[in-house]
Structure 1
Amino acid sequence: MAVDSTRTVSAGRSQQCGNSLQQTLKLTRLVHKESVDLIKTYRASQGELSEVFCKVSINNVPDPNISGLEPSERIVSIYTHIQAFLPHLKRVYDQQTDLQLPTSPLLTQLYSVSTRSRSLAALVNSFYQSVFPNLPVPEPAGGPTTLPPPQNVFQQKVYGCVVLKTYKELLSNVSRELRTLKNKVCRRRIQMNTFFF
């Protein structure tokens, strides 16, 4: 009898873990889809040379690659990477506010992606804390990413495109990572719970 109730509890926890991860993955996919549309709108709204803007490489944009060996480290990496992009997305929004008409669809899309990205960071954080309640969420390594110094219009357009392209790449990596983590993290909890009881 005791074993049965334990299994129910651990299965419930695993299901909760799966649901939480599924919700995070769903939002990641949505933001990724929006970021693809956003890049198209961005290019269309930058006037001539928009193709050139997106081919230039610059340094001070966060890295889109997830790092860490353990599942806990990889979830933290996802969280800190999304967090690192938030000030960059805000900077792009602020710059484009000066360059676009207030009615520009680009501003609406930028605002939407930024808002959803903050929600995504919060979801990843709460998922991490539910799966690893005893591990604190570390601060981003190396502190917050530095934003570029004041830029001329050409540099702003380049920076915006690079930020959006790199962020889209990050979301693609996050999506792949969350699918992999589902089996590692949620299933492992069942085994651990059963083992402890």
Structure 2
Amino acid sequence: MNGHVKSMRFQKFMEPATTLLSFLLVMAVHSTRTVEASRNQRGGDSLQQALALSRLVQKDSADLIKTYKASQGELPDFFCKGPVNDVPDPNISGLEPSEKLLSVYTHLQDFFPHLKRVYEQQTDLQSPDSPLLIVFPRLRANSRNLATLINNSYQSLFPNLPVPEPAGGPTTLPPPQNVFQQKIYGCVVLKTYKQLLSNVSRELRTLKNKF
């Protein structure tokens, strides 16, 4: 058998293998794109839900501030605008969508211990039937649901990046305070948290349009 015949047989043998390999490569690319599209869909759905919930929580925070002020007796509004040590920054950071979404999540996370502290302080200062103690738990519960939705979006849209730490991580709380300091601290926390929620809604609206 001469070389030409061997070459022809080898080519005939290789043609099906090459076709099969091409088919498998096409299927692999299609499967990857399908998985990516599914992840983007899930992430987009979570972002849409998070955006809707962020607007609800923002409204709840505005209502809670009014209820808070009404329950504190004489508390001039300018006391709620002054700086208080250890209250988290409400501004979202980052340039890339993944960085912004992670910043949203971690900022919410930073506020949870402060919201818990304010609620505990007000539980000691208010009567059990105070409207403040009725509205406050709803805000905290919805805030945690919001963080969960954002976490789900982050994991769906950016599966290869580090997963955020669970909500409620370590943060710095103020030292023991007298009653007057507690009232100011609570008001500043709630007003700053409302600013954060406004920033969160804006960022989620921008991110939703990208996915």
Q: Secondary structure at the match of 1:114?
A: helix
Who is 1:67 aligned against?
93
Contact 2:44 2:208 in 1 (8 A): yes
Residue 145 of structure 1: how far off its partner (Å): 2.2
Contact 2:90 2:199 in 1 (8 A): yes
Does 1:160 pair with 2:183? no
Who is 2:161 aligned against?
135
What do the CA deviations read for 1:37-81 (whole angstroms, capped 9, x no partner)?
000000111001242431322121000000011111111100000
Q: Select the structure of larger CA radius of gyration.
A: 2
Does 1:147 pair with 2:173? yes
Contact 1:44 1:50 in 2 (8 A): no
| Partner AA of 2:123 in structure 1 | T
Moved more, 164-173 or 111-120: 111-120
Q: How do 1:78-157 residues align onto structure 2 when only pairs under 5 Å count?
A: 78-139=104-165, 144-157=170-183
CA–CA separation in structure 1 for the residues paired with 2:96 and 2:36: 22
Who is 2:23 aligned against?
none
CA–CA separation in structure 2 for the residues paired with 1:73 and 1:149: 32
Unaligned runs of 5+ in 1: 187-197
Contact 1:76 1:137 in 2 (8 A): no
Who is 1:77 aligned against?
103
Who is 2:55 aligned against?
29
> Residues 108 and 75 of structure 1: is their aligned pair in 2 closer, same or farther, counting only changes over 3 Å?
same
Contact 1:53 1:157 in 2 (8 A): no
What do the CA deviations read for 1:12-54 (whole angstroms, capped 9, x no partner)?
5544332211101111111101000000000111001242431
> Residues 9 and 149 of structure 1: is their aligned pair in 2 closer, same or farther, counting only changes over 3 Å?
closer
Q: What TM-score do you get using the length of structure 2 for normalisation?
A: 0.79
CA–CA separation in structure 1 for the residues paired with 2:106 and 2:208: 19
CA–CA separation in structure 2 for the residues paired with 1:19 and 1:44: 38
Unaligned runs of 5+ in 2: 1-25
Residue 9 of structure 1: how far off its partner (Å): 6.8
Q: How do 1:165-180 residues align onto structure 2 when only pairs under 5 Å count?
A: 165-180=191-206
> Residues 164 and 126 of structure 1: is their aligned pair in 2 closer, same or farther, counting only changes over 3 Å?
same
CA–CA separation in structure 2 for the residues paired with 1:137 and 1:60: 26
Who is 2:19 aligned against?
none
